[in-house]
Structure 1
Amino acid sequence: MMPDINEMLPFLIPLAIVEVVLLIYTLHHILTHQTYRHGSRALWIVITLIGMQFIGPILYFLLGREEN
């Protein structure tokens, strides 16, 4: 039996907020930095937007972000 959506809202709303904040922070970081460990700015924007549900931003911070 599927759980009712109203029962899941207390879990889904904070998860959605964290996801959007992580996406915005990641895009800000990509757009304000010039160098990346792997790939280019355009590649990381595409990966971040397509893999929006945590995977894209996490991949960027693990693989693409150049350490300053």
Structure 2
Amino acid sequence: MSSDTGRFLLLLLPLIVLQLALLAAALWDLVHRERVRGGNKWVWGIVIVLFNIIGPLVYFLFGREE
């Protein structure tokens, strides 16, 4: 591995960890929550999985019913 590739991976590592943490937290919350806005958990699951970083944030901001 060249030093440029190593530096690039070190820069990406925090974003990868953030994405995985948000993905896991959002999916866990979705599975354990009885109701979500719009009433369709499948749609929120697709949004969470397909839209990296933004999908889980959108779910936490707009998808959860309190």
TM-score (norm 1): 0.81
% identical aligned pairs: 33
Instruction: Please state which structure has a larger fraction of its residues in helix.
Output: 2
Q: Distance in 1 between matches of 2:61 and 2:40?
A: 15
Q: Distance in 2 between matches of 1:62 and 1:6?
A: 35
Match of 1:45 in 2: 45
Q: Does 1:63 align with 2:62?
A: yes
Q: Distance in 2 between matches of 1:37 and 1:64?
A: 5
CA RMSD of the aligned region, Å? 1.3
Aligned residues of 1:36 and 1:64 also touching (Cα < 8 A): yes
Runs of 5+ unmatched residues, structure 2: none
Please list every run of at least 4 consecutive aligned residues from structure 1 whose deviation after the TM superposition is greater than 3 angstroms: none
Runs of 5+ unmatched residues, structure 1: none
When the two structures are aligned, how many residues end up with a matched partner? Answer: 63
Aligned residues of 2:18 and 2:53 also touching (Cα < 8 A): no
The code of the aligned residue for 1:36 comes to V
Could you tell me how far 1:63 is from its partner in structure 2?
1.1
Aligned residues of 1:39 and 1:64 also touching (Cα < 8 A): no
Could you tell me how far 1:5 is from its partner in structure 2?
2.5
